[in-house]
Amino acid sequence: MSFFDRLSNGWKLSMSSFSVLKKNKQLIIFPILSGAALILIMATFAIGALGANGWDFDNIQETSSVTTYALMFIYYVVNYFIIIFFNMALTHCTRLYFQGEEPTIGKGINFSMSRLGAIFSWAVFAATVGTILRAIQENSGLVGKIITGIIGIVWSIATFFVVPVIAYEDLGPIAAFKRSGQLMKQKWGESLGATFSFGIIQFLAVILVGAPLFFIGSLFHILAGIILAVLGVFLVISVMSAAHTIFISAVYHNITDQPVKDFENETLDGLFIQK
């Protein structure tokens, strides 16, 4: 399949993901809740760190490395837990839709609640990997940074299917990591088309939404412009995140021979072809 064919397939898959989201607009609440929770957690950790160090930023910089990495690990655990929790809820809602059932916010949340143990186990595993990579990156030279960057890319590829895997396959974090990697290896073609499509759509949407909102708000006050632009960009990112999660769910259900609505199976098969 040529490069331009893959770009075309990627565009079709992106539009199919948006089509599913358009028919189930309530699903946008999951990335919105996830984003809001992450912002709240970040603010909580930042305020807590400042308060514990006498509200002096210089004292934070002098904190021992052990304490720093321990706090970093906890922060990663909480972040991964929140992200996986809401992505799993959205993934399950897409599964319900693909099966012809009505997806609701409650059904998605209840499903994630039923998988809290698996979500927490994965969060701890991912946080451990993230903390180790961060420690290596901060304590090594340029070569070490390049290596950890490459490992980070490989990690992103290998964990592509982790959310649906831990949602529907009774596996621990290490086994889920291996299973996700196996699925990718078995069906990996070139996802460049889809990645490019989602990326260019988000880039254009951020400009087309953020810039006008900033201009309109600035007519009243510069701060109003900034707030409106930030809220607009946040909404765009939430929509893109929801569409991307729907895309991942569709591909997973396709390669595991589960029903998929509003997606062309030939297009999905063309993107993830067996080597």
Using H for helix, E for strand and C for coil, what is the string for the chain? CCHHHHHHHHHHHHHHHHHHHHHCHHHHHHHHHHHHHHHHHHHHHHHHHHHHCCCCHHHHHCCCHHHHHHHHHHHHHHHHHHHHHHHHHHHHHHHHHHCCCCCCHHHHHHHHHHCHHHHHHHHHHHHHHHHHHHHHHHCCCHHHHHHHHHHHHHHHHHCCCHHHHHHHCCCCHHHHHHHHHHHHHHHCCCCHHHHHHHHHHHHHHHHHHHHHHHHHHHCCCHHHHHHHHHHHHHHHHHHHHHHHHHHHHHHHHHHCCCCCCCCCHHHHHHHCCCC
pLDDT score for 115: 94
Reported confidence tier of residue 137, pLDDT bands at 50, 70, 90: confident
Reported confidence tier of residue 190, pLDDT bands at 50, 70, 90: very low
pLDDT score for 253: 86
Reported confidence tier of residue 2, pLDDT bands at 50, 70, 90: low
pLDDT score for 267: 64
Q: What is the pLDDT of residues 28-49, one digit of tens each?
A: 999 999 999 999 998 887 787 6
pLDDT score for 11: 73
pLDDT score for 231: 92
What Å distances lie between residue 138 and 32, 148, 256, CA to CA? Answer: 32, 10, 40
pLDDT score for 5: 64
What Å distances lie between residue 241 and 77, 88, 145, 167, 208, CA to CA? Answer: 20, 13, 28, 18, 18
pLDDT score for 183: 82
Q: What is the pLDDT of residues 145-183, one digit of tens each?
A: 888 888 888 888 889 889 999 999 988 999 999 999 888
> What are the structural domain ranges in the chain?
3-271
What Å distances lie between residue 201 and 13, 18, 82, 240, 270, CA to CA? Answer: 13, 11, 25, 8, 21
Q: What is the pTM of this model?
A: 0.84
pLDDT score for 54: 62
Q: What is the pLDDT of residues 213-267, one digit of tens each?
A: 999 999 888 999 999 999 999 999 999 999 989 988 888 888 887 878 777 666 6
Q: Which residues contact 175 (CB under 8 A, 6 or more apart)?
A: none
| Residue 275 reports pLDDT greater than 50 | no
Record the tokens describing residue 62, joined without a space. 């002098």
Q: What is the pLDDT of residues 87-96, one digit of tens each?
A: 999 999 999 9
pLDDT score for 228: 92
User: Would you say 97 and 261 are in contact if contact means Cβ atoms under 8 Å apart?
Assistant: yes
